[in-house]
Amino acid sequence: MFTMDDLGQALRERRKLLGLSQLEVAKRNNISRITINRLENGRLPELGIRKIMMLCLSLGLELTLKEASPRPTLNDLIREQESNYA
């Protein structure tokens, strides 16, 4: 399952790859730099789908849907293992 943390990481990596600052991305999308920072650092629990889509578009990314796999992903297994040790 893809989480907000995963999304934030992906957006941060793409932003850095493009050589953009958080402020530049924030201005392009009419949202605060603090929101970008919180999203990228896993501290933003929710962000509307329209804002997410605009962020992706401004970074040359797109969201896609696919049928869910009945088997857990590697990230799912890692999270499960980490929660067992917490």
pLDDT digits (tens, 9 = 90+) for 7-32: 999 999 999 999 999 999 999 999 99
CA distance 55 to 78: 28
Task: Give the tokens for residue 45.
Answer: 């629990």
**Those residues with Cβ within 8 angstroms of residue 1's Cβ, 6 or more apart along the chain or in another chain:** 73, 75, 76
Write down all domains in the chain, each with its CATH number in brackets. 4-85 (1.10.260.40)
Mean pLDDT over 59-67 rounds to 90
Reply yes or no on whether the pLDDT at 1 is more than 70. no
Mean pLDDT of 48-71: 91
The structure's pTM equals 0.77
